[in-house]
Every structure is written in structure tokens, then in C-alpha cells.
Chain A
Amino acid sequence: MTDVLEKPLTPAPSAPAPPTVGAPASAPRERARGPVATLLRRPGILVAVALVLFALVAAITPALLATHDPTATAPLERLLPPSPAHWFGTDELGRDLYSRVVHGSTLTIAATALAVGLALVSGLALGILSGFIGGGTDAVIMRIVDVLLAIPGLLLALAIVTALGFGTLPVAIAVGVGIIPGFARTTRAEVLRVKTLPYVEAARAGGASWTRILLTHVLPNSWGPVVVLAVLDFGAAILAVAALSFLGFGAAPPAAEWGTLISNGRNYLMTAPWVSLVPGLFVAAVVLSLNHLAKSIEEVQR
């Protein structure tokens, strides 16, 4: 769908291939021009990759990208609009917002990675158990998944946060549990599909144990769509983590989380709108990039 949409807004730069896109995208059909090259011909992808890489680097080594100390207050530089000195402006204590956003990546991305990781592992396990064993186990697991789906995600997360308390870790767990059902269902569907393929039957006839078949045949062949789902859900999970910390359930005040930053700016919306709006724009751009990448990977895989 997107190929017709991608009108080159800027002349496609011929940048060297960033290694990150190549790993999940593997389409054996396009041998002449690899999937990575195909993707890189689209400028939208490059921008998206750049933004996601930026967020990842910011999360891992924030000091590398930050221009100021995120906690250094400067009473004379309160609520300055964005400028060359302060790219995103400053907040009510004169702290540099750009640096706070960069440092905020650490907590937010960590929480998101934890949430998606939790959902991926439990979802894979549940999906495999369900699809592979079948019968009563399958019925029980799938009914539990149905019930989890019946509770809107954010509310389920709120219930978990109420029970576990506030902070980055409870928020991560709460968001993660909410997205387990999707992973479990996708994995189960894939396992059911792969299980009936001739090579599994062949392996079985060859005397391989079920464990061996599971690990060497079923698992490697069924996690493709699950990985796409993980990338796709990463964006949604960032939004959920940000929403929970926006509502005040995240890390305690001095720490910077994306949602908390946006929430703090609410009090100065009338006089200094950038305090909320610029970090929010950044979050939106990162999530949009992630979703765009996930969609492109999905297209290439097909």
C-alpha cells in the first residue's frame, strides 16, 4: 500500500545501510535487490530509522546526546522558548528540555522494552503451549486470553498498578500484561499453521522427539509474525507507558520520563506551551517511526 504513497519529498540520499533494518527483514524472493536496499530507497524509512536510532542511543547513553545537565536548574532561564542554545526550550526551573527528553528516554524505553519483552516471552510460551499441546490446555489458555482481551488495556494496567504500586517497573509490568493476549494469539495461530506442514511430519516420522521438533522446526518458523507484532506493539507500548506516567503513576518527580515531562508542562500551557508540546511531538515522532518501520517490515516479509 505504501509504495504508491511514498512520494519522495526529498531526493533519496544514498546513505550506507544501517545494520538494524536488515536483521528482521528477510525475503528470499527479492534476490537481485535485497529487501534492505528496497527499503532504503524510500526516504520515509530513512527518517524513521534515524529517529528510532536516536531514541535508542538516547536511552542507552543519554550523556552522549544531551547538551546540558538535565537536572541543572537556572532560575534566570525559566520557560525560555526553543532557541539555538536550548533546542526544546527550558522548563519552569530553567532546565534544558531537550536534555531532559534525551535522559527521559532511558526510563521510558527501558519500561517499554521490559513490557514488550515480558509480553513476547509469556505470549510465545502461552501460544506454543496452546497451539502445540492443543485440547484442554488450548481451551483453557485461550479462554484466559479472551478474558484479558475483554478488559480494555489501559484499565487492566490501572488495576495492576493499583495492586503493585507506582514506579517504572510496575508500569512496565502493567503494560506488558495488557499486550500478552495479542502475542499468545499470533503465536498460537503460527504454531498451528507450522505444525501441519510436511517437514514437521517428516521430522516426526524420522523419530525426532516433540521437544526437538518444537525447538528446531516449529519455533524458528513461527516467530516471524510475532517479531513484527513486537515492533508494532513497541510503539503502542511507548504510548501506554507514557500515558501511565502522564497520569502520575510513573517514576517519582526528579526522574524524567516522557509522560511526566509532558504532564509537568500542563501548568504552563498558557504561557509556555512548548514545555508540553515539544516533548509530546518528539514522542509522537518516535512512535510514528516505529509504526512505519513495523509496517514496512511486514510488507517486505509478505
Chain B
Amino acid sequence: MTRYVLGRIGQAALVLWAAYTATFAILYLLPSDPVALQLGANNIEVDSLTPEQREAAAARLGLDRPVWEQYLVMLGNALRGDFGVSFAKQVPVSDLLAQRLPGTVTLSVVAVALALVLGVAIAFTATLVPRGAVASLLRRLPAVGVSVPNFWIALLLIQIFAFILGWLPSMGDQGWQSYVLPAITMAIPTSAVLAQVLIRSFDDTLDEPYIATARAKGLTRYDVQVRHAFRNAALPTLTILGLLVGSTVTGSIVVETVFSRNGIGRLAQESVLQQDIPVVQAIVVLAAAAFVVVNLIVDLLYPLLDPRIAHTPKVSRA
């Protein structure tokens, strides 16, 4: 068991390191010019500089050293929580993140919780009600949920609940009301994916002999699903929990932009527009870390929930 836990933690750390390296490769090796971007962000015309001035600027930014050296220095700094200085805003990236993180984390937690409730409720009802109009509607709902652009859902919700009904604010982050619409927007695509997986899983589980036994004992369909089917049917969804958290968090980019919230997602959008490489890199690594940590927790919880797993270490997630 200890070996399993240590193995999983080691693997998670390795994936995180690789994700950092991948973003470094994308951002610093692809044909972009960090020096020009950095100077451009400070309103300095790069073309007007003499080659000597340019080299001096590169030296000041540490961008004149060999790529591997830059990489090692940055990796070392990143491990200590230092992601460099934002090109556009000229403040340490870690300060920016610390300032923007709480809002996004709160929103994401609310959204993931909402997505879980919605997804489970839809899947549970869809498989519980007898085949008919309601069941077919519920079974088709998730397919619609994954097909609708989340920015469009956001605009639709704003139109209905903020402009027509006037119940909730359309922007900003004042009070709990301002969380409702963004959280619903983020939860819809996620809950749709969850419901799809869960419906399939329920269908499979309900075909098992032990369900027939439970029914034969005289339990109602509802009781059978709550007491017997749910725990087994829910196991496969656990493996995609990391994926769901990931998709919810990326949803924050669009959602925070539409609802004008000051979070990490909006910071990501602004930073890409300004080609602010250090900030983009830090956000990507942060998201990968969130994803890796959720997966790690799931992997560690899995043997507790499904004892069959404990002695056969899982190789990779589904």
C-alpha cells in the first residue's frame, strides 16, 4: 500500500514536471521572440533599437543565455514559487496569481459541486423513470449540454436572468448573487459529460444479477438505485473527476471574461492578448497542477472505495 501511494505521488510529480517542460518548450522555443514581446509590452519599439541595445535588453532579462540554462534557472525558480515578472504588468507573477486565485477557486468549487449535483440528478432520474417521453428527454439532455458553446450559455443566461427578469447581476463579483450565473454556465457542460458517463454506467449496473436479486426481495426501483446501484455505477465517474475539474476550470476563462470577473481565467485571456509569456506559463502550469492533484487524490481514494484495485496498481487513468 505504501508503495502504491509513493508510486502515485512520484508519478504525479513527474507529470507536473513534464507539463512545465512542455509549456516552456511551447512558449520559449516556438518561433516567438520573448525579447521583442517583453519590450513591446513596455511600449518600446523593438525595431528602433540598435543591435547593442537589444542585446543589453536580452542580457538584462536573462534571455541571452543558452536555452537549457534559461530552462534550469526558471524551473528552479518555479519550484520556489517564483514564476518571474509579468511582461505587461511589471509585477511578480506569483503576486498576480495570489491576488486573482481566491475568486476563481471559490467559483470553481461552487461550479464543480453544482455540476456533480446536476449530473447525478439527471443520470439518476433518467435511468429511474420508466421509458417514455420524460426518460428520452432526460437521456438526450446531456448531448445538448456538450454541444452548446459555454459563452453562448453565458450570454443567454445574462439575457434572461439579468436583463429580462432582473434577478441576478450580469457582471462583477459582489455578493453571492454574482456567483450564480457564472457557476451555472461552468457547470452545464461538465454536468453533461458526467451525466453521459453516469447514464451509461447506470444502464450497465442495472443489468447485473444482484440488482435483479434486490428487486426480487421486494425493494422499489428507487431503493435499488439508491442503495445498490449508485455506488457501483458511480465508480467509473470517479476516474473522470480530474477531467471534469479540468474542464470546469478552463470554463472559467470564457466565463470570467463574459461576466467581467477578476479571476485567473480573465487574467489568462488578458495575458494571451498581451502575449505575456510568464503569466500564461504560470497559469497553464497551475491548471495542470490542479488536474494532477485531483487525479492523485482520486487514485489514492480509489483503493478505499473499490478494494479490488488495491493490489493491482493502475497504470494510467482512463
Most chain B Cβ neighbours within 10 Å, of A143, A156, A163 = A163
Apart from A152-B291, A162-B275, A262-B149, 7 more pairs, CB < 8 Å: A147-B15, A151-B23, A158-B283, A163-B31, A239-B149, A249-B273, A280-B152
Residue contact B253 to A148, C-beta cutoff 8 Å: no
List A residues 1-43 near B (Cβ within 8 Å): 1, 4-5, 7
10 A-B residue pairs with CB within 8 Å = A1-B139, A146-B316, A147-B15, A159-B281, A159-B284, A162-B27, A239-B147, A239-B149, A247-B254, A270-B163
**B148 in complex: contacting residue of A7, A144, A147, A284, CB < 8 Å:** A284
A276 CA to B140 CA, complexed, in Å = 25
Residue contact A291 to B284, C-beta cutoff 8 Å: no
Residue contact A159 to B148, C-beta cutoff 8 Å: no
B156 is an interface residue with CB less than 8 A from chain A: yes
Interface size on B, residues (CB 8 A): 57
Residue contact A291 to B146, C-beta cutoff 8 Å: yes
Interface size on A, residues (CB 8 A): 54
Instruction: Report the minimum CB–CB distance from B102 to chain A (whole Å).
Output: 19
Contact partners of B288 in chain A: CB under 8 A: 150-152, 155
A262 CA to B288 CA, complexed, in Å = 29
List B residues 10-46 near A (Cβ within 8 Å): 15-16, 18-19, 22-23, 26-27, 30-32
A118 is an interface residue with CB less than 8 A from chain B: no
Residue contact B163 to A269, C-beta cutoff 8 Å: yes
A214 is an interface residue with CB less than 8 A from chain B: no
| Chain A window 239-272, contacts with chain B (Cβ cutoff 8 Å), 1 for yes, 0 for no | 1001100111100000000010011011001100
Residue contact B284 to A280, C-beta cutoff 8 Å: no
Contact partners of B284 in chain A: CB under 8 A: 151, 155-156, 158-159
Query: Closest residue to A236 on the B side, CB-wise?
Result: B146
A242 CA to B152 CA, complexed, in Å = 10
Contact partners of B3 in chain A: CB under 8 A: none
Query: Closest residue to A4 on the B side, CB-wise?
Result: B131
Query: Closest residue to A263 on the B side, CB-wise?
Result: B151
**Selected interface stretch from B73-81, B174-182, B243-251:** B243-251
Contact partners of B32 in chain A: CB under 8 A: 162-165
Known contacts A159-B281, A162-B272; decide if A7 and B155 are in contact (CB<8 Å). Answer: no
Known contacts A158-B280, A239-B149, A243-B254; decide if A277 and B30 are in contact (CB<8 Å). Answer: no
List B residues 241-286 near A (Cβ within 8 Å): 246-247, 249-250, 253-254, 257-258, 268-269, 271-273, 275-277, 280-281, 283-284
Contact partners of A7 in chain B: CB under 8 A: 133, 136
Instruction: Report the minimum CB–CB distance from B308 to chain A (whole Å).
Output: 23
A273 is an interface residue with CB less than 8 A from chain B: yes
A156 CA to B268 CA, complexed, in Å = 12
A154 is an interface residue with CB less than 8 A from chain B: yes
| Chain B window 37-62, contacts with chain A (Cβ cutoff 8 Å), 1 for yes, 0 for no | 00000000000000000000000000
**B15 in complex: contacting residue of A150, A153, A236, A266, CB < 8 Å:** A150
Residue contact B22 to A147, C-beta cutoff 8 Å: yes
Most chain A Cβ neighbours within 10 Å, of B26, B269, B316 = B26
**B151 in complex: contacting residue of A5, A243, A270, A290, CB < 8 Å:** A243
